[in-house]
With several copies, the nearest count.
Chain A
Amino acid sequence: MDFTFSEDQLLFRDSVRDFLVNEVTPERVRASWEKDDGRDAELWQQLAELGLCGMTVPEDFGGLGMNELDFVLLAQECGYVALPEPLVNTALVAVPVLSRLGGEAASEYLPRIASGELRVAVGCSENGLVEDAAQAGLLLWAEPEAFYVLTAEQFSTRYNPSVDPSRRLYAVELGSDAKPVATGDQAQALYQAVLDRGALGAAAQALGLAQRMIDISVQYSSERQQFGKPIGSFQAVKHHMANVAVRLEYAKAPVHRAAYALAEDAAGASEAVSHAKLVACEAANLAAKNSIQVHGAMGYTWEVDLHIFMKKAWALAGSFGDTGFHKQRIAEHIFADGAALGAGTTFA
């Protein structure tokens, strides 16, 4: 039993955090909002050079050969800066799924993804819309009975603007020449793999977003004066933030367990993911609610940075399975006949 991250994992996290906090400033996020395609090619290239696009690509294909657990701390950091680039969907969802699929598609596309040359988008029918489909050279599209790997010519897109200007969402329509590369049980497994990894990515980002909203609010409330003292010295303001800290603190371990379970292909991984997504997104939603309250009217503006993180938190709550989807998975698990519940069942 060892529930800690390795020194290497933590060091890598720290260096990526430094990079992201320095490079992906709120100003740069806002700048990317203004672009037609919402994307920042230079940043994407920087991420690729750091090895992040290929982090989970097998070493044989030019990657670092790491897994979901290695990446989960980085996904938190991507949330912390509200990274607009689709790194989490690439490294945590598309690449592991493409690796599972294997074969020609993997050997053809993984090296190009790792180098940053090929952008990949990934979606599933539970979700409907696909992030960055129009910007991607490759689309992985998962349905319960059919799994597709499509190049740009094989699908068309329709833009759907989100409350989070970073998110570029598209309805996709498969071209007449689109043929599934997997069907039946294999497609079902890949469909699950997409949903679970997508949900894990959303959960991990939600943790980072919640932390960022706490940090912003603590700083704002320490500086902003009302009634002759910093508003952060009022007990009501403190308790708003403490309540977020409590929910966030207890959402972390579930997310890390879910990442471990996916990396290890453990039994119960899907329920672990659903648990993680629900508690992490709830923490982020509470962070948004209490942060805007602590900011007062400032929080309601486009000008302060809070809304960058708040809107992403709102958007992620429904992505890769909404609350109903994940609660139902939990309910099916705990209300099943003979379900192993209670003391001593968590790691069984």
Chain B
Amino acid sequence: MKLNFTEQQNAFREEIRTWLAENVPAEPLKTFDTEEGFQQHREWEATLNKGRWGMVTWPEDLGGRACDLIEWLIFEEEYYRAGAPLRVNQNGIFLLGPTLMEYGTQEQKERFLPRMATGEDVWAQGWSEPNAGSDMAAIRSTAKREGDKYIINGQKTWSTRAVWADWLFGMFRTDPESERHRGLTFILVPLDTPGITVRPIPQLDGLPGFAEIFFDNVEVDVSNRLGDEGAGWSVAMATAGFERGLMLRSPARFQETARRLVELYRANQASADRDPGVRDAVIRAWMDAESYCLSTYQTACRLSQGGKIGAESSTNKIFWSELDQNMHGTAMSLLGARAELLPHAPDAQGVGTWLDGWMFAQSGPIYAGTNEIQRNIIAERMLGMPR
């Protein structure tokens, strides 16, 4: 055990810190749930890519830096510390990218990864269906093979970024006779294909953070299939693993929230201390964010040495999503009467983005497998309790 960074790691940190200081936009971008904001974020992805900071964990020949997990954590720390924009590209970077590298053909890698890296192609997810939310095996959308085409029909929902994205990756039932996990295939679909209708779904803040997508005899070339026909489930499970596990939620995000919460508390201490539960919650928030960081580094080191991540990725999902909810809930209590004000309200001084964060935090325990599902997984797979 050695809990400090190497010179090389420190130099890496210095490099990204310097680059970010010079390149992070002075004005915060508009949210990527608006068309203008989406475009701004797409441009930011291009800027990142020019600096070779877009996909730091990708191999160098794909425009990455082949960062190991520790370097990735350092990158994330500096990224959040600098207040750099959210990644509109995260479906690509963290989900489809690694899946393509593992399951894609050489041709697919060359075709998709570079354009993903530059932000030219932004990807939407196509997992859920109206009756297959937590239960992905209930997927009903079909892709019927006809020659070298698939003819897709059906409906996807909760597709994040789909309103302005270019491509969608998702699972479709290629064997109409199949049930549950069998007979599903992983297919990549250009969103401008005829027969596709995208209906935005407004989320809590009123903006279309996700969409429903309707497929009406949509023709997709067989070369857009990822992995074997009927093997979609195992390909998708790998992707879901990337999502639930380490890669999506770096500790930096929660540590920055905890830091801002401490600041908010200190700036309002007199009124905050009228409710002793607030001070307690702030202390707990800092400790939990710190625990999350320590545990993530410990897991990252273990994985670097060839360890595997298993059902404990479910503990990860529960821990950060509840921490995030608790921190933002504490901020709401702390802000009192001001908590309800939208950020642009003229008398909202000091409320910052807490309300947006609070609403966003509500999605944490829900998406990528509800926390109830995660608890089942922990009990059954990690603890070995009876089904």
The answer for the CA separation of A268 and B331 in the assembled complex, in Å, is: 27
In the complex, what residues of B have CB within 8 A of residue A345's CB? Answer: 255
B355 adjacent to chain A (CB < 8 Å): yes
In the complex, what residues of B have CB within 8 A of residue A293's CB? Answer: 365-366, 370-372
B18 adjacent to chain A (CB < 8 Å): no
B376 close to A238 (CB less than 8 A) = yes
Given A249-B312, A275-B287: A334 and B262 within 8 A (CB)?
Answer: yes
In the complex, what residues of B have CB within 8 A of residue A331's CB? Answer: 279, 283
- How near does chain A come to B310, taking the closest CB pair, in angstroms? 12
- How near does chain B come to A58, taking the closest CB pair, in angstroms? 20
What is the predominant secondary structure among interface residues of chain B facing chain A? helix
Residue interface mask A144-163, B partner, CB < 8 A = 1 = 00000000000000111111
A3 close to B286 (CB less than 8 A) = no
| Interface members, chain A 3-32 (any B CB < 8 Å) | 3-6
Residue interface mask B298-334, A partner, CB < 8 A = 1 = 1011100100000010010011000001000000110
Comparing B1-9, B35-43, B100-108, B185-193, the segment that makes contact with chain A is: B1-9
Residue interface mask B40-82, A partner, CB < 8 A = 1 = 0000000000000000000000000000001000101110110
A221 adjacent to chain B (CB < 8 Å): yes
Partner of B295, one of A5, A222, A253, A317: A253
In the complex, what residues of B have CB within 8 A of residue A227's CB? Answer: 134-135, 138
Comparing A42-50, A103-111, A322-330, the segment that makes contact with chain B is: A322-330
A251 adjacent to chain B (CB < 8 Å): yes
Q: Which residue of A lies closest to B2 (CB)?
A: A2
Given A246-B319, A297-B128, A303-B202: A161 and B379 within 8 A (CB)?
Answer: no
Q: Which residue of A lies closest to B266 (CB)?
A: A335
Partner of A163, one of B255, B342, B385: B342
A254 close to B275 (CB less than 8 A) = no
Given A2-B2, A330-B286, A334-B283: A243 and B337 within 8 A (CB)?
Answer: no
| Interface members, chain A 165-190 (any B CB < 8 Å) | 167, 169, 171
Q: Which residue of B lies closest to A227 (CB)?
A: B135
In the complex, what residues of B have CB within 8 A of residue A297's CB? Answer: 128, 133, 157-158, 210, 363, 366-367
The answer for the CA separation of A260 and B9 in the assembled complex, in Å, is: 20
Given A254-B294, A300-B366, A318-B339: A3 and B301 within 8 A (CB)?
Answer: yes
Residue interface mask B339-363, A partner, CB < 8 A = 1 = 1111011111000000100110011
In the complex, what residues of A have CB within 8 A of residue B367's CB? Answer: 297
A1 close to B5 (CB less than 8 A) = yes
In the complex, what residues of B have CB within 8 A of residue A128's CB? Answer: 337-338, 347
B3 close to A257 (CB less than 8 A) = yes
Considering residues A161, A167, A319, which has the most beta carbons from chain B within 10 angstroms of its beta carbon? A161
Residue interface mask A235-251, B partner, CB < 8 A = 1 = 11111011101100111
B252 adjacent to chain A (CB < 8 Å): yes
Given A163-B355, A252-B295: A171 and B346 within 8 A (CB)?
Answer: yes
Considering residues A169, A292, A301, A330, which has the most beta carbons from chain B within 10 angstroms of its beta carbon? A301
In the complex, what residues of B have CB within 8 A of residue A214's CB? Answer: 383
In the complex, what residues of B have CB within 8 A of residue A292's CB? Answer: 362, 366
B251 close to A69 (CB less than 8 A) = no
B175 adjacent to chain A (CB < 8 Å): no
A164 adjacent to chain B (CB < 8 Å): yes
Comparing A90-98, A112-120, A135-143, A336-344, the segment that makes contact with chain B is: A336-344
A279 close to B287 (CB less than 8 A) = yes
In the complex, what residues of B have CB within 8 A of residue A275's CB? Answer: 287, 290-291
| Interface members, chain A 247-306 (any B CB < 8 Å) | 249-254, 256-257, 260-261, 264, 266, 275, 278-279, 289, 292-293, 296-297, 299-303
A318 close to B338 (CB less than 8 A) = yes
The answer for the CA separation of A169 and B347 in the assembled complex, in Å, is: 10
Q: Which residue of A lies closest to B334 (CB)?
A: A324
A341 close to B262 (CB less than 8 A) = yes
B1 close to A222 (CB less than 8 A) = no
The answer for the CA separation of A266 and B291 in the assembled complex, in Å, is: 18
A194 adjacent to chain B (CB < 8 Å): no
In the complex, what residues of A have CB within 8 A of residue B341's CB? Answer: 129, 160-163, 169
B278 adjacent to chain A (CB < 8 Å): yes
In the complex, what residues of B have CB within 8 A of residue A65's CB? Answer: none
In the complex, what residues of A have CB within 8 A of residue B384's CB? Answer: 218, 222
In the complex, what residues of B have CB within 8 A of residue A162's CB? Answer: 340-342, 345
A2 close to B340 (CB less than 8 A) = no
- How near does chain A come to B361, taking the closest CB pair, in angstroms? 10
A253 close to B297 (CB less than 8 A) = yes
B4 close to A296 (CB less than 8 A) = no
> What residues of chain B have their CB less than 8 Å away from a CB belonging to chain A?
1-6, 9, 13, 70, 74, 76-78, 80-81, 128, 131, 133-135, 138, 157-158, 201-204, 206, 210, 251-253, 255-256, 258-259, 262, 265-266, 271-280, 282-283, 286-288, 290-295, 297-298, 300-302, 305, 312, 315, 318-319, 325, 332-333, 335-342, 344-348, 355, 358-359, 362-363, 365-367, 370-372, 374-376, 378-380, 382-387
Name 6 interchain pairs, CB-CB below 8 A, sorted by A. A163-B355, A235-B376, A300-B204, A327-B280, A342-B258, A344-B13
